[in-house]
Amino acid sequence: MAKKAHIVRYSVEDLAGKRERGDTRSDWARAAAMTEKEIESDIASDPNEAGMVVDWDTVSVKLPEAKADLHMCIDRDVLDFFRQTGRGYQTRINAGLRSYVEKARRG
């Protein structure tokens, strides 16, 4: 079974309430006071942003193809293995099949 991460989810209303109460680690006053030049400088100095250039003129949105609904028979032990990996096991089965198809197409 996959290790569970500590994930916390908030609604937009929850986040607005936290912000109103000052219950945030972000310095919103500092951010609001920054000029565009300061913002660009901070981004440029961030190592996670190094070399990242996004040309929004060439961006396109492609919706994923719809999945096919399928009933198939597979070995019980194979199904049990994937089910034991937890939530999302059908997606992992699909990923395994996709990997097989891509490898077969390459030769």
Q: Is residue 62 part of a domain?
A: no
What dihedral do alpha carbons 48, 27, 11, 6 form, nearest 10°?
60
Q: Is residue 60 part of a domain?
A: no
User: Tell me, what's the pLDDT at 78?
Assistant: 95
pLDDT in tens, 19-65: 888 887 788 788 899 999 998 888 888 888 877 777 888 888 888 88
pLDDT in tens, 38-47: 988 888 888 8
**Number of structural domains in the chain:** 2
User: Tell me, what's the pLDDT at 62?
Assistant: 83
Q: Is residue 25 part of a domain?
A: yes
Average per-residue pLDDT for the chain: 87
Q: Is residue 4 part of a domain?
A: no
Range(s) of the domain holding residue 95: 67-107
Rounded to 5 degrees, what angle do the CA atoms 81, 84, 85 make?
A: 95
